[in-house]
Chains A and B, each alone.
Chain A
Amino acid sequence: MQNIAERYTGASVKRSEDPRILTGTGCYVDDVRLPGMLHAAFVRSPSAHARITGVDVTEARKLPGVIAVLTGEELDALTVRGPGAAGMFSAGLPMPSFSVLATDKVRLVGDPVVLVVAESRYLAEDACELVVVDYEELPAVITQEQALDPAGPPIFEDLGSNVLVRSPVATFGDVEGAFARADRVVRAELRQHRHQNVPMECRGVVCSFDLGSGELTVYSATQGVHIARTGFATQLDMPLEKVRVLAGDIGGSFGLKLGAAREDIACAAASRRLGRPIRWIEDRSENLTASGQARDESFEVEAAISNEGHILGLRVKMIIDTGAYPGLGGMLPEAVKGMIPGPYKIGALSFESTAVITNKASYIAYRGPWASETWVRERMIDLIAKELAMEPLEVRLRNVVTRGEPPLQMLTGRSLVGVTSRESLDRIAALVDVEAFRRRQAEARAQGRYLGLGLATYIEAAPGPRTPGGGGGIMGPEQMRLRLEEDGTVTVFTSQMPHGQSHQTTLAQIAADEFGVPFDQVRVVVGDTDVVPMGFGTGGSRSATMAGGVSLHGARALRAKVFEVAAHLFEASPEDMDLAAGAVSVRGVPARAVPLGEIARAAHEPGRVPRDLEGDLEVTAEYDGGEGGWAGGTHAAIVEVDVETGQVRIERYLVAEDCGVLINPAIVEGQVRGGVAQGIGAVLLERSAYDPDSGQYLSSTFMDYLIPTACEIPRIEIEHIETVPLDADVNFRGVGEGGMIIAPPTLCNAIEDALSPMGVRVTEQHLPPCRILELIGAIALDP
């Protein structure tokens, strides 16, 4: 192990990804070139809901350069129906049957209907223009009310209605008693609007079926190659072993690029049919319209409170709009139910939920998919504070759990050991100086200026507390292979699939420290189902603990194995081995040191070491999350709202976060800032908008779907709190999702505070200038 002073872990080591990214020599899926490669484009539905009455591809097939035109019916015969990879999120839920491309009906604007394969993308799009699809329009189901209407047209006939799943009331604690004892009850209907991931790189795939071997190779922009492989193998009815998925650099995802998309399956089936490689690169209009969207939920909440600000009980009813093709959306209410008490001592809870299907883009994961629990809770706390004329910070401090004091368990079951919400609230309070702000706010109001302070706190199970019978990793253990090479470097094979998170840097930092080699002598291999271990891939803020932990334990195991081999060469004991400057020696005899590469070579040469140590100097390690623990933090925003224009200016944005031990502070802070920026975008700019009558999608370009620029995102002040360690070795926690989970309530709370002189109550999350002007009564409400 390195001396502490020389350790890479904890230092803002420069990223090993950057030399290729900064010089234009990375390889994204759109950069893959295969001999004979063809190009795909899709004919997509112009309607939200319609029956397909005819598909005529005659003219398209005649166009020179067009190789194949495959209708939904034709692809249906080449593939297996189902939810595909989206089904991994929805085990046990009702699931309609649907084809890879639309056959009977189209269920959203942008639903793929026909696949065209041509010599170039230009020709493929030309041919799409020549395809004629006849539709019989059906009423569009767009709003929750329409979806809940039993008289509405069922989007999937085999489900019978547009209610996917209705979960009965679950209660924790004495709810009726809490409401009977309450001094007051605060009620609100809260809504989180639909918005979406929008990575700068759209989805894409290159599928290459080899007629000779019967093997399919797929180059994919994906968060996990093994999950993608399962999706392809299942829907193409191929043995897993005949499918290889490769991934290179990935231009962001935030939850979008999971599994094998319907378009991906269609391209793979076409490649198998044609025996030629096919590339499909989604364009931005397809991406915004049909790739998937997130965060479309409404809540009815009642809070039973005491006059001292204690939350005695909550009643919550949730409706989630899962869009057209069911997947993740159906199971999210369970996650929301489990997390809604957060780090607070809430006395009792009742929770019920309904998931509906609509003619909108399918509900997908987006950076903290269950985040509505935090939005609802942190908004309610500010509404409670308003009811009691208390400082919102004070309500939080009266209810938040404190380390070392009971109860250290969430009402819904999980242990809260190690949660530092109290510490982060205290830290933010000190940084902001709430009393000083209130004086400044009053002075500004006297001058007709509207300043507001908002804060909010969250916790995330990243990885989560240790569970009975298992470790802290709630999504299962993580594996890694590590090998000492003949040039003395260490190769790490991980199922992590970084798409901006810099795992090729952070995992190397940890392995270098634990094994005892320089950082640049660790190579992290990702993105190839033939060589990386099985695993989920990257998501759920689990990489830091799970992959970081297995990197540490794996490097330790590899070092022990190297010492065992070296001990034979020296005819000494492994305990007496020492590693320094890239060479192993018997402790105290550095002059006879053997370079690491020589030890790897010795293991490869027959007869130099015992048979059981011959071969690759390699270990396979597994890590279950150890003691686990929570990530979390408190954010604060100080805003000024211009009541003439409705513009919100963020004067200051502060973060006190706890992701345990920092592996690379610059990378942690990049994750925090990026998440906050997406949260600011969600509140001030972004909305996936549909016409409620026609179901037309209204946000299909970057002129309509606005994401923040450098002019909208302020500098973000970050302080790190490092939790008291729970685990003997691994106290890294996930930090990818937190910023996006907590920034929306933080900002909404600040905006409501700024507008409190006008009596404004914020019950929705999307607050662009026009909405703010509506809320303060400057312009008429949009009916």
Chain B
Amino acid sequence: MKKQIAVVEDEPALRENYAAALARHGYLVKTYGNRKTAMQAFQVRLPDLAIIDISLEDEAEGGFDLCRELRALSAELPIIFLTARDSELDAVSGLRLGADDFLTKDVSLPHLAARVAALFRRIDALRRPDNAAEIVRRGALSIDAEKMQTTWNGAAVTLSLTEFWIVHALARNPGHVKNRQQLMDAANVVLDDNTITSHIKRMRRKFQQVDAAFDAIQTVYGMGYRWVE
């Protein structure tokens, strides 16, 4: 059965372009121009994935409100924010509301499709019984690339997709310095240096919630970051 994706975007041309690209990858795409029509449809039937723009028509933060309402309907529904707004604050707000990823509109359609596929893969993997095929273990860290799940000392660390790919890229070659560009490439995102820095900070904080003594991601000034065991 085809996965159903809801695209909530107030710019018709963009909406149709996203819809066309995703449809080409075999998804069933429903598009909505504003929060009201989207919410009406969601109350009838939930999609498998929602891609939401933050500002919707005359509501500057309508996307956030929609995300909140959607989370109230379903705790597991994957949500991706796709927006022209690239500020740090927006990203943090979106992720805090329970979005699974936060992408700027600079992302290319193939990248978007890859993201969507990855997200679905993680959900599917979570539903399947364990197979230890794609698991990277580095000391206390274990990364399941299949399920896109991260644990530290056995405790789950909830990372967004972008964060997951950054940790994955760092941990695969411990001790190697990855510069910001490399990390962006690994995460398939276009971000500026400061956003990478704040992603790193947020990841550290998430690990430190599990283990206060966490110190595995090290800053190499002037170059980038590395994973130390």
Q: A and B, one complex? A: no
